[in-house]
């Protein structure tokens, strides 16, 4: 089971979870669009990556994201029975659950979530993101980040303008 959740607390005040969401084109991406159209506010912790079907998401993508410092990965597809491709989401379910099992040994399983969000569930999309963000906040930062720190320089708070500012910040983070 995951033990790192309680052991770790957020590094700094400025830390916000970083979540990657794989959304299927037909339901969940449209659900995220609807959340936008309806102006359901949720924290800017998630970035949506569009795939045609949730079944396209390979475990390798999830591992890569976690290895690169994602604090959480969400895979979202159509409800069972509503899949645009008949039963792609069932394949996704099997794959994600297997990936979760594998991640359990590493204590990362809670950082991966599978959700069914339909095109009409804009509110649900925003709720899922809010809830997942809260959960990740409880778990704390992805511990991989510490190990990978030299490669991943991510001071994410300061607004940056132009390349010179960029360079300055990078140096700053390296000193830290």
Partner 1 sequence: MSDNKGDEKPVESKVDQEEKRVGVFVCECGVNIGGVVNTKAVAEYIGTLPGVKVTSVNKFTCSDSGQADIQAKIKEHNLNRVVVAACSPKTHEPTFRACIEEMGLNQYFLEFVNIRDHCSWIHMWEKEKATEKAKDLVRMGVERSKLLEPLQASEVPVIDKALVIGAGVAGMQSALDLADMGFQVYLVEKEPSIGGRMARFDKVFPTNDCSICILGPKMVEVARNKNIKIMSYSEVKAVDGYVGNFNVKIEHKPRYLDVAKCTGCAKCSEVCPVEVPYDFNEGFGTRKAIYVPFPQAVPLRAVLDMENCISCKACAKACESKAINYDMEPSYTDINVGVIVGAVGFKTYDPEPRHDFGYGLYDNVITAMEFERLLNAAGPTGGHVVRPSDCKEPIRVGFVNCVGSRDKNTNIYCSGVCCMVTIKNAQLLKEKRPETDQTIMYIDIRTPFRGYEESYNRSRNLGVKFLRGRPVEVKEDPVTKNIKVRVEDTLAGEMRNLEFDLMVLATGIVPNEGIGQIQQLLKLSKAADGLLMEAHPKLKPVDTTIDGVFLAGCASGPKDIPYAVSQGSACAGRATILLKNKKAITEGITAVVNPDVCVGCEVCIPMCPFQAISMDEKAGKANVMKALCKGCGTCVAACPTGALEQSHFKNNQILAQVKNVFKFQEVAA
Site for partner 1, rule CB under 8 A: 16, 18, 20, 25-27, 29-30, 32-33, 35-37, 39-44, 47-53, 55-58, 60-61, 64-65, 68-70, 81-88, 91-92, 95, 118-121, 126, 151-156, 159-163, 166-167, 169-170, 173
Evaluate whether 156 touches 16 at the Cβ level (below 8 Å). Answer: yes
CB of 1 to partner 1, least distance (A): 26
Dist CA 129 CA 173 (whole Å): 28
- 2/169 with CB nearer partner 1: 169
CB of 65 to partner 1, least distance (A): 5
CA 59 from centre of chain: 14
- 3/164 with CB nearer partner 1: 164
**Smallest Cα–Cα separation from 20: which of 63, 99, 74?**
74
Hunting for tokens 């700053």 — which residue is that?
Answer: 172
């Amino acid at each position: 089971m995951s033990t790192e959740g309680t052991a770790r607390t957020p590094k700094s005040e400025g830390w916000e979870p970083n979540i990657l969401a794989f959304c299927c084109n037909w339901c969940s991406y449209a659900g995220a669009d609807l959340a936008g159209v309806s102006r359901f506010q949720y924290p800017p912790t998630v970035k949506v990556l569009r795939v045609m079907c949730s079944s396209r998401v390979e475990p390798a993508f999830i591992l890569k994201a976690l290895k690169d410092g994602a604090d959480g990965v969400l895979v979202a597809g159509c409800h069972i029975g509503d899949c645009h491709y008949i039963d792609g989401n069932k394949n996704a379910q099997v794959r994600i659950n297997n990936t979760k099992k594998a991640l359990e040994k590493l204590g990362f399983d809670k950082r991966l979530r599978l959700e069914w969000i339909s095109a009409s569930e804009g509110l649900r999309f925003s709720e899922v993101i809010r809830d997942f963000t809260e959960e990740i906040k409880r778990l704390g930062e992805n511990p991989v980040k510490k190990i990978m720190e030299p490669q991943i320089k991510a001071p994410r708070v300061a607004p940056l303008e132009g390349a010179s500012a960029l360079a300055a910040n990078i140096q700053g983070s390296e000193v830290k």
